[in-house]
Amino acid sequence: MITVSALNALSRVRHAFFTRGRGVSEGIYASNNCGYSSHDDPVSVARNRQRSIERMEMPPEALVTINQQHTATVVVTEAPWPQDALPVADAVVTTKPRLVLGVLTADCAPVLMADGKAGVVAAVHAGWRGALDGVLGNTVQAMAELGARPDRIVAGIGPCIGQRSYEVGPEFPAPFLEHDKDNGIFFAEARRPGHYMFDLPGFVAKQLARAGLREIMPTPCDTCREEARFFSHRRATLRGEGDYGRQLSAIALER
């Protein structure tokens, strides 16, 4: 698993960006697939989740996940939901110790945030649509309503697709530029005429900074290119594999 030093420095917080390694799944899901929305064996997915949370030295039954749909919706919780009744949201916040907040990704950016002094943590699934629509700012606002201060919140941006792997079509930049003309800095010309390479982690970092965060730490990873370490929706699509695994990112408060 991968951690970032900025979050490690918070004494009451544990976090992890898990890779695809050290799990029990097989085939295209090998090996630490934690996504029930894949077509993997649910028993294997459950075992992978359990083993991952145990590596954080947290109780596996305390894992909280959500029904991610690329929204800007944020929910606050004090207990896990049943797997068949997950709320539709793309960020989850808590103040409850030893409750493990988790998001699943396979190219989108997982963002883990914490205000250690206030005792507030959050996990965010930030694809391009959710990030553009405001899921990151909404999460910071939800944390602030629970006592956090934006300038005290620390954020780690986990493994996601890198700019050199993220080619988008000619229509893609328009909504970003309509939102802020300065967003053009996140688009570089691609080899194909009229196409662009999009900097998702850079855009995510900017949204966090605009929300008032001062300490934002990305991970230097590219899920699409690093096949041995990460699952990737884009890589699987380009190969016509039909499905793909999901890696878990999680954060929790200690007692």
Report pLDDT digits (tens) over 154-184: 999 999 999 999 999 999 999 999 999 999 9
Residue entry with tokens 């990112």: 249
Which residues touch 242 (CB under 8 Å, ≥6 apart)? 236
Query: Cβ(94)–Cβ(78) under 8 Å?
Result: yes
- CA 21, 38, 84: angle at the middle one, nearest 5? 115
Domain boundaries, the chain: 5-162+199-253
Residue 218: pLDDT band by 50, 70, 90 thresholds? very high
Q: pLDDT at residue 231 above 90?
A: yes
Peptide bond into 31 cis (omega under 30): yes
Residue entry with tokens 């490690």: 8
Q: What share of the chain in percent tops pLDDT 70?
A: 100
Q: Which of 132, 207, 126 is nearest to 161 (CA)?
A: 126
* Range 3-10 average pLDDT: 98
For residue range 96-143, what is the model confidence (pLDDT) as tens digits?
999 999 999 999 999 999 999 999 999 999 999 999 999 999 999 999
Burial (Cβ within 10 Å: 0-12, 13-18, ≥19) of residue 219: middle
Q: Which of 29, 103, 100, 32 is nearest to 70 (CA)?
A: 103
CATH class (in words) of the domain with range 5-162+199-253 = alpha beta
pLDDT, position 111: 99
pLDDT, position 229: 98
On average, the pLDDT of the chain sits at: 98
Q: pLDDT at residue 80 above 90?
A: yes
Q: pLDDT at residue 19 above 90?
A: yes
Residue 246: pLDDT band by 50, 70, 90 thresholds? very high
Report the 3 state secondary structure along 195-209.
CEEECHHHHHHHHHH
| CA atoms of 114 and 148, how far apart (whole Å) | 8
pLDDT, position 255: 86
55's tokens = 């590596």
- CA 5 to chain centroid: 17
| CA atoms of 44 and 248, how far apart (whole Å) | 14
Query: Cβ(210)–Cβ(137) under 8 Å?
Result: yes
Please state the pTM of the whole predicted model: 0.98
